[in-house]
Structure 1
Amino acid sequence: MKFKSLKKVLLASLTLTLLLGVGATASAGYKLSDEVTTATPALLAATEIGLKTNENPALAALPNKDAILVMSFGTTFTDTRAKTIDATVNAIKANHPGVKVVTAFTSHIIIDRIKAKEGITYPTPEEALAQLKAEGYSRVAMASLDIIPGIEYDYKNAVYQTHKNNFKKATFSTPLMYWQGQEGQADDITATMEALSTQFPKLGKNDAVLVMAHGTPHPANAYYAVMQDRLEEMGHDNVLIFSVEGWPHLETVIPKLKAKGIKNVTLMPLMMVAGDHANNDMAGDEPDSFKSILEKEGFKVSAYVHGLGENPAVQKLFVDKAEQAWDALQAK
């Protein structure tokens, strides 16, 4: 029976490949088979996954003038912004001396609050691209500091799709976790969980780490289940993921903690920055904070209030993603 089931899967996969002509290439993305010569715009759009590249033939005569745009949701927490977003952007800059690197935030509320409080003006991605074009930049590599390909990443992709033909060439990288080890692709999930594990404390049999993700109504919320699977494959049986606004909830994992006989819990955020969610929802002293809820359930709780961007191993993964966009920009 197992052989017959596998045969059906292989046949279905082969049928799909023949119909779409889709084949895996480098870990950066996919492309249509060379045998597909009459692909419709809809088919091209549907198979444009992974790292994206666009060239506008109408602007081919323009001289190359390259820039990098790094996009983030942003944060009003000055200290964590310096340690996470700024530190990552500076690492990207260090790899490209003499290249213009611009940071843009997608949250208009955060942009307004930073301007009012600190006198610093961050552009939106749309404003940043318009300014780059006005300054004569003809090619731009766009990078995202998103964790998963959810709503925020979709917004940045929409910005890329809307503005890509304003430039001679434009590229757009994938978020921290995108590929899941499909044939011919990298396993971003395992790489990220390995990087995350460098900040885990030493755990005894009665100890656990709860990793707090943001959560989303977007189907990309399913990534959390894949992360949990990878953690278990790596032997981190007492590390559990829960989310603020998605699934699994804290209430989902508390029974699991009790079933394992866990007494001591370390909370840590699975977020680029340690902002409001990490400081208040997770580690705050209010009765409805996750720390307080766990304490009421009888657990001894400590909090690791540091954004992923502070983790050197995670930061390197973000820099590598930006490098993929840059390499695609330079490719002939």
Structure 2
Amino acid sequence: MKSLSKGAMIAALAVTAAFGVSQSTDAAYMLNSEVKDATPALQEAASIGVRTYENPMMKDAMDKDAIVVMSFGTTFKDTRAKTIDATINEIKAQHPNVKVVTAFTSHIIIDRIKEKEGITYPTPEEALDQLKADGYTRVALTTLNMIPGMEYNYAGAVFNHHKQDFKKMTLGVPLMYWMGQEDQRDDVEQALKAFSSQFPMMQKKDSAVLIMAHGTPDPSNAYYAVIQDRIDSMGLKNTYLYTVEGWPNLETVIPQLKEKGIKHVTLMPLMMVAGDHANNDMAGDEPDSHKNILMKEGFTVDTYLHGAGENQQIRDIFAERASEAYDALVK
């Protein structure tokens, strides 16, 4: 355990005493072994990290395994192939004898792809219903989410609503989940190391990188403050994060750029795909696009229209997250 101040140590012991949760370097928390009478509510509260459910009513069922990869999806076909499809192909390659199903969480995107391309992607619920009908008994759920925001809450709700349909079900974590607290790994730093490998070379002090994330009304929007903290502590100079639908927004960042004397910015999305937000909100030709807003403020602007999923290192991390969920399924 990392060293703690006396006050922090007392607080940590108080939490352990109250909730019986012990921290671990594993992908999930476990209840303290001294807790002998954990109620369902306490067990649910301690379901942090990779979640696992075993159905006692199906303990004798034959094992037949599948992985369901959940993504918001995109109607931009080219970026979908380079990001979502490429990541899922990597997951398939690492689990050659396991059925891997792609499910989109955006019902609107599912409808638009079906109309324009004639391809039908299932929702997670539809994918699980079909797997159950086909006799699959153990399912690992994994996501292509960046942070555990509202989309990940959807994944958690799918897990809770369908876990009793199978002998065993697990739910993995998104790209950035653990933040280095106590002895846990730091997913934020790991992801930023991977993501920053595609940063442009900035040889001038008046140049900056603006990373556009999505944002969420969920309290997990606070992850973006942690991401900016890691950006700063890792020495990624003149690098700022803002969100399309959360905080901080572009208007929050512009004064910081001016104060720093920044003249040139490169906009790039911290999103799985370079879809509507990247092509239109960030780099579009409309007057209210981020590019044009910055140009009106006197900045020279370049745009980087590549989803994070085009980065091999990012795909590798998502494949690791899928393997964590699958390993918890089969152990």
Alignment correspondent of 2:142: 143
Root mean square deviation of aligned Cα: 1.0
Q: State the distance in 1 between where 2:212 and 2:26 align.
A: 28
Q: C-alpha offsets along residues 89-142 of structure 1, whole Å, 9 cap, x if unaligned?
A: 000000011311000001111001100110100000000000001000010111
Q: For residues 28-67 of structure 1, what are the structure 2 equivalents within 5 Å?
A: 28-67=27-66
Q: State the distance in 1 between where 2:254 and 2:144 align.
A: 30
Structure 1's consecutive aligned runs of 4 or more residues displaced over 3 angstroms after TM superposition are none
Q: Report how far residue 16 of structure 1 moved.
A: 1.6
Q: C-alpha offsets along residues 141-172 of structure 1, whole Å, 9 cap, x if unaligned?
A: 11011111011000111000110111111111
TM-score normalised by the chain length of structure 1: 0.97
SS in 2 for 1:198: helix
Q: Which amino acid aligns with 2:319?
A: V
Contact 1:27 1:186 in 2 (8 A): no
Q: Aligned pair 1:9/2:8, yes or no?
A: yes
Q: How many residues align?
A: 327
Alignment correspondent of 2:163: 164
Q: Report how far residue 312 of structure 1 moved.
A: 0.7
Q: For residues 85-164 of structure 1, what are the structure 2 equivalents within 5 Å?
A: 85-164=84-163
Q: State the distance in 1 between where 2:242 and 2:24 align.
A: 34
Q: For residues 248-259 of structure 1, what are the structure 2 equivalents within 5 Å?
A: 248-259=248-259
SS in 1 for 2:210: strand
SS in 2 for 1:81: helix
Q: Which amino acid aligns with 1:309?
A: G
Q: For residues 1-332 of structure 1, what are the structure 2 equivalents within 5 Å?
A: 6-203=5-202, 204-331=204-331
Contact 1:27 1:184 in 2 (8 A): no
Q: State the distance in 1 between where 2:236 and 2:24 align.
A: 32
Q: Report how far residue 19 of structure 1 moved.
A: 2.1
Q: State the distance in 1 between where 2:66 and 2:108 align.
A: 26
SS in 2 for 1:262: coil
TM-score normalised by the chain length of structure 2: 0.97
Q: State the distance in 1 between where 2:60 and 2:249 align.
A: 54
Unaligned runs of 5+ in 1: none
Q: State the distance in 2 between where 1:23 and 1:262 align.
A: 46
Q: Report how far residue 286 of structure 1 moved.
A: 1.0
SS in 1 for 2:66: strand
Q: State the distance in 2 between where 1:72 and 1:301 align.
A: 30
Q: C-alpha offsets along residues 166-225 of structure 1, whole Å, 9 cap, x if unaligned?
A: 111111100111100011211000001111100101112111000001111111111111
Q: Which amino acid aligns with 1:253?
A: V
Q: State the distance in 1 between where 2:288 and 2:15 align.
A: 49
Q: State the distance in 1 between where 2:176 and 2:213 align.
A: 13
Q: C-alpha offsets along residues 233-255 of structure 1, whole Å, 9 cap, x if unaligned?
A: 11112000001111111111111
Q: C-alpha offsets along residues 50-91 of structure 1, whole Å, 9 cap, x if unaligned?
A: 100111111011111101100011110000100010000000
Q: State the distance in 1 between where 2:97 and 2:7 align.
A: 54
SS in 1 for 2:5: helix
Q: State the distance in 2 between where 1:182 and 1:7 align.
A: 17
Query: Which shows bigger deviation, 83-92 or 177-186?
Result: 177-186
Q: State the distance in 2 between where 1:26 and 1:236 align.
A: 27
Q: State the distance in 1 between where 2:298 and 2:201 align.
A: 21
